[in-house]
Amino acid sequence: MRHSFLTILALVLLAGTATAQVTNGTFDSGLTGWTATATLNGSVAWDTFGFPANAARLGATNPPLGLPTGSATIAQSFGCGGSFDDGSCVVSLDYAVASSFGAVIRVEVKLDGNEMWSSDHSANWSGVIPVSFSAPCGLHNLEVSATYQSGGFHDGWRCWVDNVTAQCVPTVAADAAGWGAVKSMYR
């Protein structure tokens, strides 16, 4: 009887294990699992030799007539979490931006249509920028976009996205204890 109880308890605990299903967040398999869209001179490609290697590259590279206008977006729907309805889904990713001749590029990260991160970049090289935020665990749609804002010409701009992860972290209930109970633990 005790063995059966422990087996059932183990199965219940395994069923409640937090899971995340971001597909191909490191882009080692190209753009598999991601939906890519672009407007005007924007484009989405898999970059195997950029920085970082194996990343999604959003941008307007060598645009016609030197006009770097447009936008590029990658998106993916995923499940974050198992049976932890009260947990937090921690989403993180890295990106880097390169633009030429002062082009201003806006990078925006949305979860379920809500803006979670936005930043404008006009430097030739931004360096790798980590982004992290949380939302309730469950089913989500993540969008990462880069959009031309102003300035620049000729060579265009690029935004590399890599290391996209999501992890459901269960909420741990706090034990309510009065001062007397806490004090007694240290006697």
Cis ω before 63 (30° cut-off from 0): no
pTM recorded for the entire structure: 0.79
Q: pLDDT at residue 112 above 70? A: yes
Work out the end-to-end distance of the chain between its first and last CA atoms, rounded to an integer number of angstroms. 39
Closest CA to 156 of 53, 96, 70: 70
Among all chains, which residue has been given the structure tokens 């991601």?
A: 34
44 pLDDT more than 50: yes
- pLDDT score, position 85: 62
Structural domains of the chain in order of their starting residue, each with its CATH number: 18-171 (2.60.120.260)
